[in-house]
Amino acid sequence: MTVKPVKNHLISTKWRFAIWCLLFSSVVIYGVNLWQSGAKVQSDILAMLPHLQQDELTHNALQQVENRLANQVYIAIVSSQKDTAINAAKTLINQLKQDPQQAFSQVTSASDSNINELGKWYFDHRFKLLTADQQDALASKQLDGLIAKAQQQLYSAFGFANSQMINQDPLLLFSDNMLALTASSSLQQEQGILFNQQANQTAAIVIAKGAQSAFNPNAQQQQLAALNHAFAAMAGSDVQILKAGALFHAQAATESAKQEITFIGGLSLIGVIILVWLGFRTLMPLHLALLTLSSGFVLALVATLSLFNELHLLTLVFGTSLIGIAIDYSFHFYCEKLSQPQHDAYQVLDDILPAMTLALVTSSLAFIGIGFTPFPGMQQVAIFCATGLLGAYITLVLAFPLLANKPLKPSSALNWAQYYLHFVAKLSAKPTINKIIFYVIGLVIFAGLLQLQHNDDIRHLQQSPQQITDEENQLRQWLSGGTDNQFILVSADTEIALLEALHQLTPTLAQAVNQGELTHFFSLASLLPSLSQQQKNYQLQGLIYQQNLPHIIDQLGLNDDSGLLNQSLQSAYLQAQPANLTPDALLALADTALKDLWLTPNNNGIVGAIVLLTGINNLDGLTTRINHTQLNDAKVKLVDKVGDISHLMGQYRQFTLVLLLGVLVIASVLFCFKYPLKLALAVIGVPTLAIMLTLSSLGLLGSPFSLFHALALILVLGIGIDYSLFFAEAKHTSTGVMMAIFMSATSTLLAFGLLAFSHTNAIHFFGLTLLLGIGYTFLLAPFITLITRKTH
Amino acid sequence: MNKPNRITRWINTLIVIMQCGLLVLFLLLLLSQFSSSQAAEVTPQQTTVTSKHEALSPPASLAIVFNHPASEQDLQQLANQVSLTHENTQGLFEQTRYLAALKRPLTSRGTFAFNPNLGMVWHQQAPFVTTMVMHKQQLTTIDSKGNITHSAAKSAQAANPLMQQVPELMQHLLSGDVIALQDDFSMFYLASNTNNTELWSLGLVAKDPLLLKALGKLIIEGRQQINRIVMLNQASTQQADRLDITDIQFKQVNHLPLSAENAAWFDMLNITPAPPITTENSRSVTTKQ
């Protein structure tokens, strides 16, 4: 690597600059071209989540469940007057439907399925339906009770017994069956509007399905505009509006990401300007630093876009941190120039290039390490930062010799650096202080590491503003319980076996409800008896239609002098024998929400059914219960995507720590060849100690260790090695290096450290770790001069 | 939210709709009777049905009212008469159902009581004993053997466009707003002036075909007070003229405090006075004593 600058001497500074200009203009042209051919900024938080490995059926099930909820906006209009709420909901629906941009493809309240058709379908299959009580009565051949019950219904003016009904169902068994098929809920419906009443308040519920993903920035804006416009139309009425949906989370995420880019980027830029002015008393280095940064940024942007065809908004947030490292190069250059005023830009470059190249390689290695994580977003960050650094490096090598040749005024900053190094030297000369520091560090590390805990739950990572979560919880109450993210997937080879399995599972889940593990569950079993049960029910009803029909007709006083009724009932019974209640027929009549619970056979011919769960209180208990459930000819499992991803995050956290260890080992081997053993160990020891201190500080701060902490540690290692390398490579004097390290550490802290103030937990963890890690590295790195002095 | 439940709720609705709908309609119509302050106190023990009234016209012949659409003026006049000043309404009922499919009509009788806060008791004494108590959104049936069945009218009501009409009807009737009923019903009115007291009948035909199918055509007949309700339902899909007829006559109606027996029914179900239109999460439960 050190051969390169010698070669470069052959090319004149002007030629170098020409090459640089050519290179970057072509990169810019390529980038513009990419942008016009449809590259986009992606702000979908979900795109950052890792891909899970699943079997096909589970994958389909997850997709169906996610599609149910995806892009849906739920709105509750709460008012003390029912009419007010319903009218406001009607206005809202009309407004949303009339939206010129058609932001929502579907705006509904009450469901669209045809109740009459469904009722008729069940009635047509009445010979296959019996309630448990009816089964008992027929099995024990106790017809009298059933006849008495029918008679009672006939007398009631408030019942539904009428001539049409008794002529087809003389014992009026159907009504009880319908009641048994019914689930409880407090939701009601009027004038096509779904609503719920609680404590004298009425909430009308409107569901709008976005035409495009809520995470698409344009669609997001359109949908919000449509909603706001519609809300404005309701402004006159005295209603409270509650809303929930991914849209509002996405909006909050986009807004906070935008704010943070402005805030963190702005603050770090201002900080860096002040820093440069204080250090060099001229803003000339800043111009060149900006050039380095912008060329690095452009290269990073184009490289990311060409590889991923989109730029994640989170990449940009992390990317602002690139400032911190890229600017190091120009700082290093200027500090060296300041301390060697007699050298021209060429010679300065020669002096620092070996350290710079090594630094580039190690930093890039660290970033590429981040790229090994399963997060598409983090892979982008890795590519973005690595290419950004390369861009900055190329600019330094090619453009600086021509542009930065102007001599600098002497600055007092070098003296401060000198003082600091003297202080370090003095400090280390006193063995008692050394010992004390040594023990304190040891104690801190020991105590901190003991305290360190880890948490891989991804719900912990993304936190929407409290207000949105509160509103969502309020809305959930009105919706009489929200569907949880977890669900149960039952799969079998045939639909018959699957339905049977769902019925087998029902008692298990009912027991789970009894034990408080969850509040409610819903499966198709509650709407369909199993095939064997249907056949049993049919046989039981033979007692009515084949053995006792004349008796029943007589007892009830049915008008059948001609015997036609007897005949028609018997033939209806016989004709009904082959037709069963099947899931397909039910789903054809039901609305889409129900259809999503049945998975069509996949390539292996396996069918699946989803059991929806509501209000899980004890996920572990439920998972154990489901795992211990054995079904005949069917498999059952609890699908918990959030849990699975969290588990995966845990695995990658460990993987990252191993990676960290690996990089450390490789770096020590490399440095052992280049430097004397003692120096090599020091170069590696500084970042290692910094990492240990960071870990223990995190433990003391009570920040649970996660993948994002681990990722930041890789950066700490990369930057830490940079710092110690600069010191180790400093040939003549360390003051220039000390100043450069001070400036770059400060700028890095300004850029990365500020991420600690992010509201997104993932970014906050990343920033906090870097803040600590870079801080410790900065304090520790100067001690390397003690070793270099002795060796030189 | 759990969408699939809605489906089952709609199914349920088909069944319970008539129970609730008719019950509520009854309450309202009874409630809106005019007072006869001299009415003798009637206790459930005094169940002898007196037939001092003039001969009633056969129920099917009442359908003639549907030839006479009500004018604004008719309704206004009726609305003026229907004023609500009474806490309680109780008395005797005699009901005959002529079901086309049955050889014989089904005749039953008993007592009823209504209180706007507590709900309604419909206590049939003959030919067998059975009691229905409707409170808030819950219908409780106690059969002759003492089996108690609760069914939540609310879950039936859920997501059903028809049942939602009923509370609205109630409001309109409570406020004597017969005019507002026109939104949902075609109104028919026929009055015949005999013996100084005007005998009138009001016909109600739901505009919504589904509601019409569930409720049938309704005829309310009254003189100084509502004394008869007739329901006409089509008995056969093929023959439009075959009808199921339910004919209910009210006797000895008074507005005194609830009798001990009627109050006991409410007490038994732990029903205490509360605003009638509050809701609760109720579910279908069947308990056996």
Among candidate residues A223, A209, A214, the one with its CA nearest the CA of residue A72: A209
With a cut of 60, say whether residue B54 has pLDDT above it: no
Confidence of residue B20 (pLDDT cuts 50, 70, 90): low
> Distance between CA A17 and CA A333 in Å, rounded?
17
Facing B1 at nearest CB: one of A167, A183, A483: A483
Average pLDDT in the B128-144 region? Answer: 76
What is the full DSSP assignment across B37-57?
A: TTPPP--TT--PPP--SPPPP
Identify the weakest region by mean pLDDT among A565-574, A702-711, B275-284. B275-284
Find the residue in A nearest to B150 (Cα).
A179
Instruction: Please indicate if any CB of chain B lies within 8 Å of the CB of A481.
Output: yes
Q: How much of chain B, in percent, has pLDDT values that exceed 90? A: 3
Distances, alpha carbon A156 to alpha carbons A113, A152, B19, B95, B96, in Å? 31, 7, 9, 9, 10
E strand or H helix at B173, and its extent?
A: helix B165-174
Task: Tell me whether residues A559 and B103 touch, CB distance under 8 A.
Answer: yes
User: Between these two residues, A410 and B5, which has the higher pLDDT value?
Assistant: A410
Among candidate residues A689, A684, A678, A688, the one with its CA nearest the CA of residue A788: A678
> Distance between CA A637 and CA A62 in Å, rounded?
13
Confidence of residue A537 (pLDDT cuts 50, 70, 90): very high
What is the full DSSP assignment across A673-710?
A: HHS-HHHHHHHHHHHHHHHHHHHHHHHHHT--B-HHHH
User: Between these two residues, A550 and B9, which has the higher pLDDT value?
Assistant: A550
Indicate the burial class of A635 (C-beta count within 10 angstroms; 0-12, 13-18, 19 or more): middle
With a cut of 70, say whether residue B245 has pLDDT above it: yes
> Distance between CA A452 and CA A698 in Å, rounded?
7
Q: How much of chain A, in percent, has pLDDT values that exceed 70? A: 87
Confidence of residue A691 (pLDDT cuts 50, 70, 90): very high
Q: Compute and round to an integer the Cα radius of gyration of chain B.
A: 19
Sort out which chain B residues have CB atoms less than 8 A from A122's CB and list them: 11
Task: Tell me whether residues B9 and A527 touch, CB distance under 8 A.
Answer: no
- Beta pairing, strands B138-142 & B130-135: antiparallel
A&B contacts, CB < 8 Å: 197
Q: How far is CA B223 from the centre of its chain?
A: 18
Confidence of residue B281 (pLDDT cuts 50, 70, 90): very low
> Distance between CA A264 and CA A450 in Å, rounded?
33
With a cut of 80, say whether residue A383 has pLDDT above it: yes
Confidence of residue A695 (pLDDT cuts 50, 70, 90): very high
Average pLDDT in the B165-181 region? Answer: 54
Max CA distance (Å), chain A: 127
Average pLDDT in the B254-262 region? Answer: 83
Facing A184 at nearest CB: one of B20, B124, B152: B152
Instruction: Please indicate if any CB of chain A lies within 8 Å of the CB of B102.
Output: yes
Do B203 and B222 contact (CB within 8 A), yes or no? no
Residue A120: DSSP 8-state? H
> Distance between CA B134 and CA B23 in Å, rounded?
8
Average pLDDT in the A243-255 region? Answer: 80
Contact residues for B239 (Cβ-Cβ < 8 A; gap 6+)? none
Position A198, amino acid = Q
Instruction: Please indicate if any CB of chain B lies within 8 Å of the CB of A568.
Output: no
Give me the residues of B, 67-96, that contact A with CB < 8 A. 95
How close does chain A come to B57, measured CA to CA in Å? 20
Do B140 and B55 contact (CB within 8 A), yes or no? no
Do A533 and A139 contact (CB within 8 A), yes or no? no
Q: What is the pLDDT of residue B34?
A: 39
Q: How much of chain A, in percent, has pLDDT values that exceed 90? A: 6
What is the full DSSP assignment across A65-93?
A: HHHHHTTEEEEEEEESSHHHHHHHHHHHH
Indicate the burial class of A696 (C-beta count within 10 angstroms; 0-12, 13-18, 19 or more): buried
Give the N- to C-terminal CA distance of chain A in Å, as an integer. Answer: 22
Among candidate residues A728, A738, A786, A732, the one with its CA nearest the CA of residue A418: A738
Find the residue in B nearest to A68 (Cα).
B3
Position A496, amino acid = I
Confidence of residue A128 (pLDDT cuts 50, 70, 90): very high
Average pLDDT in the A379-385 region? Answer: 83
Strand, helix or coil for residue B208 = coil
Give me the residues of A, 72-131, that contact B with CB < 8 A. 74, 110-111, 113, 115-116, 118-119, 122
Instruction: Please indicate if any CB of chain A lies within 8 Å of the CB of B25.
Output: no
How close does chain A come to B196, measured CA to CA in Å? 33
pLDDT in tens, A475-502: 777 765 455 678 889 988 888 889 999 9
How close does chain A come to B46, measured CA to CA in Å? 22
Sort out which chain B residues have CB atoms less than 8 A from A72's CB and list them: none
Q: What is the pLDDT of residue A110?
A: 67
| Structure tokens given for B214 | 């569930």
Indicate the burial class of B243 (C-beta count within 10 angstroms; 0-12, 13-18, 19 or more): buried
- Could you give the count of Cα atoms lying within 13 Å of A682 in the half-sphere of its Cβ? 24
Task: Tell me whether residues B10 and A113 touch, CB distance under 8 A.
Answer: yes
Contact residues for A103 (Cβ-Cβ < 8 A; gap 6+)? A96, A210, A211, A219, A222, A223, A225, A226
With a cut of 90, say whether residue B15 has pLDDT above it: no
Contact residues for A648 (Cβ-Cβ < 8 A; gap 6+)? A50, A52, A374
> Distance between CA A113 and CA B208 in Å, rounded?
18
pLDDT in tens, A47-70: 666 666 667 778 788 777 777 666
> Distance between CA B256 and CA A560 in Å, rounded?
47
| CATH label, A423-451+642-733+742-792, candidates 1.20.1640.10, 3.60.15.10, 1.10.1380.10, 3.40.50.300 | 1.20.1640.10
Q: What is the pLDDT of residue A184?
A: 45
Instruction: Please indicate if any CB of chain A lies within 8 Å of the CB of B159.
Output: yes
Contact residues for A299 (Cβ-Cβ < 8 A; gap 6+)? A24, A27, A387, A388, A390, A391, A394
> Distance between CA A450 and CA B262 in Å, rounded?
73
| CATH label, A1-38+281-411, candidates 1.20.1640.10, 1.20.140.10, 3.10.20.30, 3.40.50.2300 | 1.20.1640.10
Confidence of residue B30 (pLDDT cuts 50, 70, 90): low
Q: For residue A586, how many other CB atoms are within 10 A of its CB?
A: 19
Identify the weakest region by mean pLDDT among A39-48, A163-172, A465-474. A39-48
| Structure tokens given for A263 | 């805030």
Q: What residues does each domain of chain A span?
A: 1-38+281-411, 423-451+642-733+742-792
Position A155, amino acid = Y
Distances, alpha carbon A528 to alpha carbons A133, A586, B179, B273, in Å? 17, 8, 45, 41
Q: What is the pLDDT of residue B289?
A: 34
What is the CA angle B277-B279-B281, rounded to 5? 165
Q: What is the pLDDT of residue A536?
A: 93
Q: Compute and round to an integer the Cα radius of gyration of chain A.
A: 36
Do B174 and B84 contact (CB within 8 A), yes or no? yes
> Distance between CA A17 and CA A135 in Å, rounded?
92
Sort out which chain A residues have CB atoms less than 8 A from B208's CB and list them: none
Distances, alpha carbon A671 to alpha carbons A79, A358, A684, A691, in Å? 72, 10, 8, 19
Identify the weakest region by mean pLDDT among A304-318, A522-536, A564-578, B141-155. B141-155
Q: What is the pLDDT of residue B284?
A: 34
- The mean pLDDT of chain A is 80
- Based on DSSP, count helices (H) and strands (E) in chain A, helices before strands: 32, 13
Give me the residues of A, 172-211, that contact B with CB < 8 A. 175, 178-179, 181-192, 194, 197-200, 205
Backbone angles phi, psi at A702, to 5 degrees: 80, 25
Strand, helix or coil for residue A482 = coil
Instruction: Please indicate if any CB of chain B lies within 8 Å of the CB of A562.
Output: no
- pLDDT winner (highest mean) among A502-506, A640-644, A749-753: A502-506
- CATH class of the domain at B21-36+58-116+161-268: mainly beta
With a cut of 70, say whether residue A735 has pLDDT above it: yes
> Distance between CA B173 and CA B240 in Å, rounded?
31
pLDDT in tens, A81-90: 777 888 888 8
List beta partners, residue A382. Answer: none
pLDDT in tens, B67-103: 888 887 887 777 766 554 566 778 899 999 998 888 8
Facing A191 at nearest CB: one of B143, B161, B281: B161
pLDDT in tens, A175-201: 778 777 655 455 666 667 777 777 678
Instruction: Please indicate if any CB of chain A lies within 8 Å of the CB of B287.
Output: no
- Beta pairing, strands A310-312 & A40-42: parallel
Sort out which chain A residues have CB atoms less than 8 A from B279's CB and list them: 186, 197-198
- pLDDT winner (highest mean) among A122-126, A746-750, B12-16: A122-126
> Distance between CA A761 and CA A704 in Å, rounded?
11
Among candidate residues A648, A491, A486, A646, the one with its CA nearest the CA of residue A66: A486
With a cut of 50, say whether residue A291 has pLDDT above it: yes
pLDDT in tens, A202-231: 888 888 888 877 767 778 888 888 888 888
Strand, helix or coil for residue B242 = coil
Task: Tell me whether residues B11 and A122 touch, CB distance under 8 A.
Answer: yes
Instruction: Please indicate if any CB of chain B lies within 8 Å of the CB of A157.
Output: yes
Average pLDDT in the A358-369 region? Answer: 78
Backbone angles phi, psi at A405, to 5 degrees: -85, -5
How close does chain A come to B279, measured CA to CA in Å? 6
Task: Tell me whether residues B2 and A186 touch, CB distance under 8 A.
Answer: no
- pLDDT winner (highest mean) among A246-250, A373-377, A464-468, A628-632: A628-632
- For residue B273, say if its preceding peptide bond is cis, omega within 30 degrees of 0: no
Task: Tell me whether residues A481 and B2 touch, CB distance under 8 A.
Answer: yes
Indicate the burial class of B239 (C-beta count within 10 angstroms; 0-12, 13-18, 19 or more): exposed
pLDDT in tens, A9-43: 556 778 888 888 888 888 888 888 887 776 666 65
Q: What residues does each domain of chain B span?
A: 21-36+58-116+161-268
E strand or H helix at A402, and its extent?
A: helix A376-403
